[in-house]
């Protein structure tokens, strides 16, 4: 093998290693993005579930039942004199 070919070989190897490193870094970023997106989806789902639960717990029908159970009467029946 001639010296020139060996030098080109080293250069190619170094370039390949650099390329692999860049690729590896990009893939890491991509995986990180995928993880973040999936986390975002999970958080959004959790937010929506919490929103639904909040609406369920504070639903006006529930509020009306609670008021009735606690002796509240409609304002016009307040015995105004």
Partner 1 sequence: MAVRALGISKGWVVGTFTLVWLAIFAYGAWMLVRFTPRLWPDPGLGYQLPVPRGRLLARDGTPLALSPKPGARVYPLGALAGQLIGYTERFPKGYGRGLAGLEARYDAVLARGEDVRLTLDPKIQALAETALLKGVEAARARWGSLVVLSPEGEVLASANVPRLDPASRRGAPGKDPRLTNYAWRYLIEPGSTVKPLVAAWLLERGLVRPDEVLEVPYHVQVGDRWVRDWRWHPVERWTLADILAHSSNVGMALLSERVKKRELHAFLTRLGFDQRVHPLAERPLLPPLKRWGPVEKANATFGQGFALPPVQLAAAMNALVTGVYHAPKLVLGQKGRETRIFSEASVRWIRSTLTRHLSPRARVPGYALAGKTGTAQIPTRGGYDPERVVALFAGFIPADRPRATAVVVLYDPQVPLADRYGSKLAAPVFAELAKGLLSYWGLLPERVK
Binding-residue pattern over the window 17 to 46 for partner 1, x denoting contact by CB under 8 A: x-xx--x---x--x--xx--x---x--xxx
Pick between residue 27 and residue 69 the one whose CB is nearest to partner 1.
27
Q: Does 1 bind partner 1 (CB under 8 A)?
A: yes
Shortest spacing between CB 70 and partner 1, in angstroms: 14
DSSP for 3-67?
HHHHHHHHHHHHHHHHHHHHHHHHHHHHHHHHHHHHHHHHHHHHHHHHHHHHHHHT-HHHHHHHH
Contact partners, residue 62, CB within 8 Å, separation at least 6: 56
Binding site for partner 1 (CB under 8 A): 1, 3, 6, 9, 12-13, 16-17, 19-20, 23, 27, 30, 33-34, 37, 41, 44-46, 48-49, 51-56, 59-61, 63-64, 74-77, 80
């Amino acid at each position: 093998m001639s010296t020139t070919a060996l030098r080109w070989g080293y250069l190619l190897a170094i370039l390949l290693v650099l390329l692999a490193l860049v690729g590896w870094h990009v893939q890491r970023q991509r995986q990180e993005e995928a993880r973040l997106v999936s986390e975002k989806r999970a958080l959004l789902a959790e937010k929506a579930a919490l929103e639904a639960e909040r609406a369920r717990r504070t639903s006006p029908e529930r509020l009306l039942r609670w008021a009735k159970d606690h002796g509240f009467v409609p304002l016009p029946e307040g015995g105004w004199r």
